[in-house]
Amino acid sequence: MKLEPLRLAVIGCGFFAQNHLRAWRHVRGVRLVAVCDRDEERARAAAATFAVPAVYTDAATLLERERPDFVDIVTTPPSHRELVELAAAHGVAVICQKPAAPTLEDACAMVTACERAGVPYMVHENFRWQPAIRRAREIVATGAIGEPYFGRITFRSRHDVYRDQPYLAADRRFVIADLGVHLLDLARFFFGEPDSLLCAARRVNPRIAGEDAATILLRSPAFACVTDMSYASHQERDLFPQTLIAIEGSEATVVVDADYEVALVRTGRRERIAILPEHRPLAGDAPLRESVLAIQQHWVDCLREGRTPETSGRDNLKTLDLVFGAYQSAETGEAYRPGTLLAASANPSGPSPR
């Protein structure tokens, strides 16, 4: 028996929402029934571009009238908690753009609201769904590199991200919260949970409010992983928006290099595995981002099959704990013990963190 498509509404029609909307047209098993944005002109433009039948400027009205199966929230972080709790109160499942919240307290409250309402909740953490990164993780899982013990995950650029997202220039917490959250999720994706974090961060661009360069060292008895990020780096060739990865093991190293090349490296030789681009050209349209399509299809498949998505709201709390722990480490100059801030945020009046 053919299943009816799930009814979807997108809340937020700004810059990155265009990638979500474009991908939804290629996801199996969904029907986009409405878009919502406080800026009516922007919402109507999105509806016209992506052939969406209904336009709203108020999320509560949308939820009451359309009764979607789920919403995709693609707004800025300060609005996320209110919108997630609103959807949960209406019994509607939620995808929310990263970073999930500006504080761990808000992030915990969002998870609690969805769990109490019995609705699925996932954070749109798409970097791990890039085809090249996915393939590298599969290679590690096969044991082809032996025991992984060291990683470097790098994203350094001077791309003008402020042009399309000017609010980023005003954020007092910038590159770790906006970009580092992706890289920290990747570190967890490849290695699991660290037990120590040390961060150095600085502002290079005097015209912005927050830090635009940071290096974070994650450690456990089994591994060390460096996540390295910058929007201030002069490069001979700027590779934006590519993430470069090297995972070293006892037998070999797997790399994701420039132009999405995945290779297996052993002393004195290199085996190209694949070239797996992130962007797919579309006739008469901007390129489709493969990772956005993949995570959104994953979400729909999980809803259909009753599975917990990889980057569920609860799982993402561990990534956010590393984000806020990185800021604490950068400010104090001391190592952060992962889980400390999360324990305090989840139990503000409970026992002391471990």
Q: Please give the pLDDT value at position 284.
A: 72
* Banded pLDDT at 2 (limits 50, 70, 90): low
Residues carrying CATH 3.30.360.10, the chain: 128-277
Q: Rounded distance, CA 38 to CA 168, Å?
A: 19
According to CATH, what is the number of the domain 6-124+290-311? 3.40.50.720
Residues carrying CATH 3.40.50.720, the chain: 6-124+290-311
Q: Please give the pLDDT value at position 251.
A: 98
Is the predicted pLDDT of residue 345 greater than 50, yes or no?
A: yes
Cα 199 to chain centroid distance, Å, stands at: 20
Q: Please give the pLDDT value at position 354.
A: 28
* Banded pLDDT at 353 (limits 50, 70, 90): very low
Q: CA of 17: how far to CAs of 11, 153, 177, 227, 336, in Å?
A: 9, 26, 18, 26, 34
Record the tokens describing residue 188, joined without a space: 């967890």
- Give percent of the chain above pLDDT 70: 97
Q: Please give the pLDDT value at position 241.
A: 96
Given CA atoms 193, 194, 195, 198 in this order, what sign does their dihedral have?
A: negative
Q: Please give the pLDDT value at position 285.
A: 78
Q: Please give the pLDDT value at position 3.
A: 84
Judged on CB neighbours under 10 Å (0-12, 13-18, 19+), 183 is buried
- Give percent of the chain above pLDDT 90: 95
Per-residue pLDDT of 18-45, as tens digits, reads 999 999 999 999 999 999 999 999 999 9
Per-residue pLDDT of 212-230, as tens digits, reads 999 999 999 999 999 999 9
Is the predicted pLDDT of residue 126 greater than 70, yes or no?
A: yes
Q: Please give the pLDDT value at position 347.
A: 73
Q: Taking the model in full, what pTM does it have? A: 0.95
* Banded pLDDT at 286 (limits 50, 70, 90): confident
Mean pLDDT value across residues 230-242 = 97
Widest Cα–Cα separation across the chain: 63
Is the predicted pLDDT of residue 186 greater than 80, yes or no?
A: yes
Q: Please give the pLDDT value at position 352.
A: 32
Q: Please give the pLDDT value at position 348.
A: 56
Is the predicted pLDDT of residue 349 greater than 70, yes or no?
A: no
Pairing of strands 244-249, 253-257: antiparallel
Mean pLDDT value across residues 155-163 = 97
Q: Please give the pLDDT value at position 350.
A: 38
Per-residue pLDDT of 308-336, as tens digits, reads 999 999 999 999 999 999 999 999 999 99
Q: Rounded distance, CA 90 to CA 56, Å?
A: 17
Q: At what angle do helices 313-332 and 104-117 cross, to 10 degrees?
A: 170
Q: Rounded distance, CA 329 to CA 165, Å?
A: 27
Q: In what order do the strands lie in the sheet with 261-266?
A: 196-202, 213-219, 224-230, 148-156, 244-249, 253-257, 261-266, 269-275
Is the predicted pLDDT of residue 1 greater than 60, yes or no?
A: no
Mean pLDDT value across residues 184-211 = 99
Closest Cα partner for 102 from 19, 33, 174? Answer: 174
Phi, psi of 67, deg, nearest 5: 45, 60
Record the tokens describing residue 287, joined without a space: 């390129």
More confident residue, 280 or 85: 85
Q: Rounded distance, CA 38 to CA 57, Å?
A: 5
Mean pLDDT value across residues 12-19 = 96
- Specify the 3-state DSSP secondary structure of 35: strand
| Contact indicator for 7, 66 with CB cutoff of 8 Å | yes
According to CATH, what is the number of the domain 128-277? 3.30.360.10
Pairing of strands 70-73, 93-97: parallel
Peptide bond into 120 cis (omega under 30): no
* Banded pLDDT at 346 (limits 50, 70, 90): confident
Q: Rounded distance, CA 259 to CA 92, Å?
A: 39
252-263 burial, b at 16+ Cβ within 10 Å, e below that, comes to bbbbbbeebbbb
Provide the mean pLDDT of the chain.
96
